[in-house]
């Protein structure tokens, strides 16, 4: 018997599961997905499950089961058929790379996201801020892991650089291969029954970190070639792994692009404590901190009280947000128009009786 609580089951899921339980369904958590095959951990151990026809045909991709989801399923010949996804506590998503405004759900029901950057060549405060903003907007708390500290002479300098960005989150230095900082990370940040996700570009050491925590090689670690310093894509799928300590970790394949998906009434600004504090002193309450007179943010940048990187990241994310919003508004307008057209056709058919 597996205790579902040790996998993160709580009263939220319990409540939503009631009606399914009455129908004789079971509950399980998705630990990996390969094609149509979903691996679930259940009260009776592990089982494979497929999607029901209704789920497969009538559901948007973002709402289909993802790693981390709790699902209601029916047992059938040693296999499960997933009938429904229980409402998520949160979902880690990103905008897919390129011009599309499509959202991709990476993993769900997450307590903390670890953003991993390697200090060798991957360290990039701009990219880090993009991850931070998106994670916070998904209602997930972030922790920054600066890995490969053994490869630079003064790793603390990088840590201070991240702290100076002013985000309210822990920043840790690690070496996955040298096992430095791992114990402290595990003891302070990896709590039993909680679910964590590792994100970051390919080659920053995510698989190596997972393996170090597990104490054995679960995934092949890809050798980053010295020749061109381009990491090979080694992690191909996401897995929810139970660590010996009872904490769960979802490893995700390297993602160089991490597009933000801020919604219409939100502002990237809300996710930066330094900017929020400063904007209270702007002359105009709806200041965009770009061209307005009496802008406290611009003044702080000029006087060196706000790091340029923070301001630059704010501008960049705002621009992207505007693009994302016009695009999704346009999509909604087209959908509305299509709905109207479909209604007209139905009416027309009724009148003509065919
Ligand atoms: N020197 C040093 N090398 C490391 C460290 N952590 C990882 N590496 C090396 O970096 C390379 C890439 O590590 P992986 O763990 O495969 O990286 P990943 O983030 O899982 O990459 P993807 O699976 O492609 O997303 C391997 O050769 C590791 O041995 C570290 O702390 N120090
Ligand atoms: Zn302003």
| Residue having the nearest C-alpha atom to atom 8 of ligand 1 | 205
How far from chain centre, in Å, is Cα 277? 26
pLDDT, position 311: 87
Q: Which of 57, 85, 113 lies at the terminal end of a domain, its last residue?
A: 85
Residue 105: name the closest of 197, 192, 233, 170 by CA: 197
What is the average pLDDT across 129-139? 87
- Bridge-based pairing of strands 141-147 and 112-118 is parallel
Confidence grade of residue 214 (pLDDT, cut at 50, 70, 90): confident
The tokens describing 291, both together, are 């061209």
Asked whether the beta carbons of 195 and 109 are under 8 A apart, the reply is yes
Q: Which of 85, 110, 138 lies at the terminal end of a domain, its last residue?
A: 85
The tokens describing 299, both together, are 């003044």
Tens digit of each residue's pLDDT (9 = 90 or more) over 23-64: 999 999 999 998 889 999 999 899 999 999 999 888 888 999
Structural domains of the chain, count: 3
Q: Is 177 touching ligand 1 by the criterion CB < 6 Å? A: yes
How many angstroms separate the CA atoms of 123 and 101, rounded?
27
Angle between helices 206-214 and 182-189 (to 10 degrees): 80
Tell whether 346 is covered by a domain.
no
Nearest ligand to the CA atom of 212:
1
In this structure, the answer to whether residues 71 and 101 fall within a common structural domain is no
Q: Is 307 touching ligand 1 by the criterion CB < 6 Å? A: no
In this structure, the answer to whether residues 217 and 275 fall within a common structural domain is no
pLDDT, position 153: 94
Tens digit of each residue's pLDDT (9 = 90 or more) over 327-347: 666 666 655 655 555 555 555
In this structure, the answer to whether residues 239 and 325 fall within a common structural domain is no
Binding residue numbers for Zn(2+): 282, 287, 289, 295
In this structure, the answer to whether residues 102 and 238 fall within a common structural domain is yes
Residue 181 φ/ψ region, left for φ over 0, alpha for ψ in the -120 to 50 degree band, beta for the rest: left
Alpha helices in 42-122 (DSSP H): 53-58
DSSP 8-state secondary structure symbol assigned to residue 119: T
What is the average pLDDT across 68-91? 94
Tell whether 215 is covered by a domain.
yes
Q: Which residues pair with 144 in a beta bridge?
A: 115, 171
Looking up residue 210, the CATH number of its domain turns out to be 3.40.50.300
| ipTM for the assembly | 0.96
How many angstroms separate the CA atoms of 316 and 320, rounded?
6
How many angstroms separate the CA atoms of 218 and 231, rounded?
19
In this structure, the answer to whether residues 328 and 216 fall within a common structural domain is no
**Domain containing residue 309:** 268-337
C-alpha angle 60/6/179, rounded to 5°? 95
């Amino acid at each position: 018997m597996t205790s579902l609580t040790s996998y993160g089951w709580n009263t939220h899921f319990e409540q939503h599961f009631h009606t399914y339980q009455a129908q004789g369904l079971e509950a399980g958590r998705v630990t990996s997905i390969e094609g149509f095959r979903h691996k679930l951990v259940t009260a009776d151990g592990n089982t494979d499950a497929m999607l029901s026809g209704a789920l497969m045909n009538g559901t948007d991709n973002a709402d289909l089961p993802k790693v981390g989801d709790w699902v209601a399923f029916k047992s059938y010949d040693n296999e499960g058929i997933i009938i429904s996804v229980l409402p998520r506590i949160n979902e880690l998503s990103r905008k897919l790379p390129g011009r599309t405004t499509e959202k991709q759900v990476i993993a769900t029901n997450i307590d903390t996201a670890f953003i991993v950057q390697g200090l060798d060549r991957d360290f990039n405060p701009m990219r880090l801020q993009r991850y931070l903003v998106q994670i916070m907007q998904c209602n997930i708390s972030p922790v920054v892991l600066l890995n490969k500290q053994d490869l630079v002479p003064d790793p603390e300098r990088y840590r201070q650089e991240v702290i100076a960005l002013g985000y309210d989150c822990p920043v840790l230095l690690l070496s996955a291969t040298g096992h430095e900082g791992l114990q402290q990370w595990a003891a302070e940040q990896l709590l039993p029954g909680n679910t964590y996700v590792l994100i970051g570009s390919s080659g920053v050491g995510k698989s190596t970190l997972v393996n170090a925590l597990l104490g054995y090689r679960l995934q092949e670690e890809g050798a980053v070639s010295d020749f061109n310093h381009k990491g090979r894509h080694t992690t191909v799928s996401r897995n929810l792994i139970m660590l010996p300590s009872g904490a769960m970790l979802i490893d995700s394949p390297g993602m160089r692009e991490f597009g933000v998906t801020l919604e219409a009434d939100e502002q990237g600004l809300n996710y930066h404590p330094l900017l929020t504090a400063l904007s209270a002193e702007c002359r105009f309450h709806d200041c965009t901190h770009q061209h307005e007179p009496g802008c406290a943010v611009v003044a702080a940048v000029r006087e060196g009280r706000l790091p340029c990187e923070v301001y630059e990241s704010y501008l960049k994310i705002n621009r992207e947000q505007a693009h994302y919003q016009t695009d999704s508004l346009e999509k909604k307008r087209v959908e509305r128009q299509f709905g109207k057209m479909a209604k007209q056709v139905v009416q027309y058919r009724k009148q003509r009786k065919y």
